[in-house]
Structure 1
Amino acid sequence: MKLTKTFKVFFENEKSGGVLLIFVTLLSLFLANSSVSADYIGFWNTHIGHHTVTDWINDGLMTIFFLLIGLELEREIYKGELSSIKNAALPIFGALGGMLVPAGLYLLLNYGTATQSGAGIPMATDIAFAIGILSLLGNRVPSSLKVFLTALAVIDDLGAILVIAIFYTKSIAFLNLAIAGGIMGFLFILNRMKVQNLIPYLIGGAIMWYYMLTSGVHATITGVLLAFVIPFSGGGPRTSSYKLQHFLHKPVSFFILPLFALANTCIAIGSDWHEGLTHLNAFGIILGLVVGKPVGILLFAFLSVTVGVCALPVDLKWKHILGAGMLGGIGFTMSIFVTILAFSDPEIITYSKIAILIASLTSGFFGFVYLNSILKSKTKKTRVVHQHQN
């Protein structure tokens, strides 16, 4: 499969960002459990105005992350890997299974309890981490597998955004929501008038973010909405959408996501940390990500091909889909993000984060070992064929 230039750039950025995320996560956990623990954790809980530093990152900077996700989704839908039903169907069905099965397993254990609202936690896939692990396997990875995993994670992000908007909005201030909607409508008119200057869109987006924040709907949704009113106009290098997407890639990958990881993994792990893993909430997260993700992705992809809705690419095998499903169990960024929205009890949040880290580490490890094994065997077979030919 021939990869587009835009996809290659996207994959390379996410690959490097994934490696950086691994490093800063380990650094944050180390600092949170060192002699500077109190000062380190205290810094992230420092108030600036009515919000902590962590709140400003989660509600503010992460809006820029969602803006980039929205711009990438728009490009993929209009002229990228998701631009045709044929290309999009397999990862769409895979992503659907990768969301429904983990959520179902979680609810099976937590329905009717105080933690049932955490069902959205194991539904997410961290695109940077997943691609970062896949990139460690080098050139042996089939192009179709790169495309499948990337498209799967992008669609997964869209699903997580919808889940946040629908299920994690507690109370709505309709006047503020209407003002935010009015601003979006104005920006849409600018789009239809083919106004390419980014300044009015960015100013309008900032005002829309404020009213969305005070409306009760999570403010980060503003990023996705703004992405779809910024002119795409064919997606060429001179368009506003293209310029903004390429400008944001490095700040998001190398500043915003690492900052989010630092702020949200500063977990002081006590001697009784393992007790939290006996709770149904933690068990549901681990079961959902480690088991539910690969089972859901493989099952739904297999069913969609079996009934003829889509076809399996020539260089992609079912064992590759299973490996992608394992890497899909790396929830991290989005899982932690949903955890913060789902719970208010600091203890539950801490145990949930530990469960997410364990599940993501487990999924990443087994996904890497499994794919390394099957791709290595493929390389050996190729060598054997060449030796026989010679």
Structure 2
Amino acid sequence: MELLHLPKELQFHIISRLDGFSLLNVQKVCKLWLEIVESLETTVQIWKQCCLNDIPRNILVQLTGITELMNNKEIKESANLHWTFWKEIYLDYERMSLVRDNQPKTTQVMFTTQLSACTSLRLKDNILVSGHTDGSVVLWDTDDQGQGYFKFLTKHRSHVTAVDVLNTVENMRDIDDWVLGYKVISVSRDVGIHVNNPLTNAVQRFVHYSGSVNAVSCYGGRFVVAADSSILNGQPIWQVSESNSVDTRVTSTLYGHEESCISAVAMWNGEVLSGDVIGNLFKWKIPVDGSDCSKPIHIAKFSVSYTKAIYYDGHVIFCLLGDGSICWRVGSSKFQTLPNTQELEVFSATPVCMACRARLLAIGLNSGSVLIYFFENQKSWDDFNPSQPTSYIKASQDSVNSIDIGDDGEGPVIVTSSTNEGISKFYWRPPE
């Protein structure tokens, strides 16, 4: 018996049991099913249900920025977010597959005559921030009509090594203050750490280390940096104020490093991974009582080079080393490595930067190309083969300096920078 011949109430019941991907397609079949889906959207929070059932929690936290989702099995019923919020999150999750079969469009964000060379990029919730060799940190207009428009945020005295964007709103209860929660963190070779509020232009500048600050990682409203001279100074976990101010306070400090120069860091759900210049990779669990921690777990020793960048989401650890080698571990399995010598044979180039967001991984090469990998689900990481990218783009004629991944509300976006070609944006759209 065809489904359309069943009573409407039974069709409603059957459609309410579909996953999100099927819901997106079933509403295109006929007017009745479109009406059923629209009713489900507004009456039973069907998209919230799809997000919780279909999207792994670590990815859901990346897409929403709401860290409490990692710790609660169910969202509090008192947090009545509009159904469009959840639908947009699900669409973001599904749109990542566009990179498989479609070519991106491209536009220029920064022209080379505007600022000094870009050294770092961060794209979060369609907010694009860049750091530069002259110490400038700027916020860009990512709209296609706003090419070349930017807002100056702060100025370091030297080369900016990393920028990141955090949001102090970590739970569903305060989601109405989401727009007010954004803060920009930037670090530099001049030892300075800057916390900036783009809405109020308030900036807090402070120094904790006597050497270069090399990297920064944010999780919720907290951040941690990687820097030289870390054995004595440790790695503080800074909490940023939830108000419009940029006040920060130290909640814990991590000790136990074997090397003073920490080159990379990643923070995720109460854990911090730090890599140093002699190839060690350590993991700390941040004490919930606010005490310090001096007993890290030594999880890897990369003998070929230092750790340049780390991605960690609680399930996957992905490291880019200083010589271009890449190393990764899924769950509790052993680390796998693609050495620099093999990469030259496979890519005819060397990886120099990388970014990962949810189901997408992008690796920038010194040839100007970007390799893009799409993961259907978390099990896809088990079969990850660096020599078989899902697609690739030619981002520049010279080396890619920095890279990041986001979504602009219509499709996935990758931003890249190079010394001779400024900042470029590549964005995917559904086929017309």
Structure whose CA Rg is larger: 2
Q: Would you call these one fold, judging by a TM-score over 0.5?
A: no
Q: TM-score range by the shorter chain?
A: under 0.3
Task: Give the structure, 1 or 2, with the largest relative contact order (CA under 8 Å, sep 6 or more).
Answer: 1
More strand by percentage? 2
Q: Which TM-score applies when normalising by structure 2?
A: 0.23
